[in-house]
């Protein structure tokens, strides 16, 4: 059974209108990412008296700072197990807007530097993921540690299995005693 062309003509018109609207919206979306500072004329006279609050009588902030409140580096067990090899210095350089090499080896740089950064690495097992990946001697001396290192070295599914096995042992408090000794 063949469809009648007039029957679907309205659908093609709707598609053309939708594409045109999307094309018109794209430039506005790019501008919306950074609208800049408020017009000084708008700020004049909003509040003629003294105040301790810079936002009194204003529906918008006049000084906005951008940052990250929760960043893990490769020293945290969770980030390190899933491929992050970057350290604190890398994180701060990246936040300042410098180009760094990502954990995957690609060059990366923020389009706009951050004003502040909070590194929130976990204290539990700090650095063990890095030691496992590098094959530190104390890790390789423990059979389970050697197994995890080999899994990470293979990459892909083997690395995922090693990561989940380590997380399971950590969460169930069944890590080899040699790896958690003071």
Q: What is the torsional sign of CA 80, 83, 84, 85?
A: positive
pLDDT at residue 25, rounded to an integer: 52
Q: How far apart are CA 92 and CA 107, in angstroms?
A: 15
Task: Name the residue among 49, 77, 66 with its Cα closest to residue 165.
Answer: 77
pLDDT at residue 45, as a whole number: 67
Helices within the chain (DSSP H only): 9-32, 40-43, 77-81, 88-95, 128-134, 137-140, 143-154, 156-171, 177-180
Confidence at residue 55, expressed as pLDDT on a 0 to 100 scale: 64
Token pair 């995922």 in the structure block, residue? 160
Which three-class secondary structure state does DSSP give residue 58? coil
Cβ neighbours, 10 Å, residue 36: 6
The model's pTM is 0.62
Which secondary-structure segment (H or E) carries 107?
Answer: strand 107-108
User: Residue 40: what pLDDT?
Assistant: 73
* pLDDT value of residue 24: 55
Q: What is the pLDDT of residue 28?
A: 46
How is residue 6 annotated by DSSP?
Answer: G
Where the chain has pLDDT below 50, the residues are 1, 11, 27-32
What confidence tens digit (pLDDT) does each residue in 16-48 have? 655 555 555 554 444 445 556 667 776 676 666
Q: What is the pLDDT of residue 31?
A: 42
For residue 182, the model assigns a pLDDT of 61
Please check whether residue 179 is in contact with residue 139, taking contact to mean a CB–CB distance below 8 angstroms: yes
């Amino acid at each position: 059974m063949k469809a009648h062309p007039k029957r679907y003509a309205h659908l093609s018109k709707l598609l053309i209108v939708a594409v045109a609207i999307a094309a018109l919206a794209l430039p506005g979306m790019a501008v919306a990412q950074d609208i800049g500072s408020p017009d000084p004329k708008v700020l004049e006279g909003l509040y003629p008296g003294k105040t301790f609050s810079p936002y009194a009588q204003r529906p918008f902030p006049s000084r906005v700072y951008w940052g990250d409140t929760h960043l893990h580096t490769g020293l945290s067990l969770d980030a390190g197990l899933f491929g992050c090899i970057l350290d604190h210095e890398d994180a701060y350089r990246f936040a300042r807007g410098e180009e760094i090499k990502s954990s995957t080896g690609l060059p990366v740089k923020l389009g706009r530097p951050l004003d502040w950064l909070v590194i929130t690495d976990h204290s539990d097992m700090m650095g063990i993921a890095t030691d496992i990946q590098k094959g530190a001697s104390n890790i390789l001396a423990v059979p389970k540690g050697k197994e995890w290192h080999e899994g990470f070295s293979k990459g892909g599914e083997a690395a995922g299995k090693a990561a989940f096995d380590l997380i399971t042992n950590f969460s169930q408090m069944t890590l080899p005693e040699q790896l958690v000794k003071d």
